[in-house]
Chain A
């Protein structure tokens, strides 16, 4: 799954290289959204803070 996030970032960079700005925005939004989703998925350990 984490591999897929890097694939999305890679595709975004290819879109920059080939000069398609709209695709870049769409893919970067998709990458960020997927990253936030995956970050949320990984927040399982409770924080044990002692202030």
Chain B
């Protein structure tokens, strides 16, 4: 449950920067958000169906995908005098969001690796059927689902059904009204 809650924090932080500081997410930023939601999906499966290695696999694959996207974006901006600019968006605590993204994805892989050492919580004697959700679990799952729905809405406003612009500066659908 900590992993599910924890992965919500950077997504909420990204929304803070989008709405409060007025910086629009680029396509690679959106892909990193998607990968964070993928990490949450694996963690939510553990909460709903019980702890299984296959659920951790979903988390690890999503984290690897997110790390690849973050690394690609770091490489786009890493060289001094780069024509792509010194970086995309404002730094937070000295680092850009995609650098934090890489740290978060690598930390996720590390945390999942540590959790897999603890073999007692893999109960393979019972089938992986849906379990009743406690209120805190329901609240966390509802938060992740709400964040995903919010991403659908804002991404649709920003890009519509077309590919998103490389450096978005406005909500395309709202500018056409």
Contacts and interface: CB of A to CB of B under 8 A. Distances in A.
A5 to B, nearest CB: 5
Contacts, number: 113
A42 B28 contact: yes
B45 A16 contact: yes
Interface residues of B, number: 48
Contacts of A25: 54, 58
Interface of B: 27-28, 30-31, 34-35, 37-38, 41-42, 44-45, 48-49, 54, 58, 61-62, 65, 68-69, 72, 75-76, 78-80, 82-84, 128-130, 141, 144-145, 148-149, 151-152, 155-156, 159-164
17 contacts: A2-B30, A3-B160, A6-B34, A6-B37, A6-B148, A9-B37, A10-B152, A19-B48, A35-B38, A35-B65, A38-B27, A38-B31, A41-B163, A43-B72, A47-B76, A48-B83, A50-B79
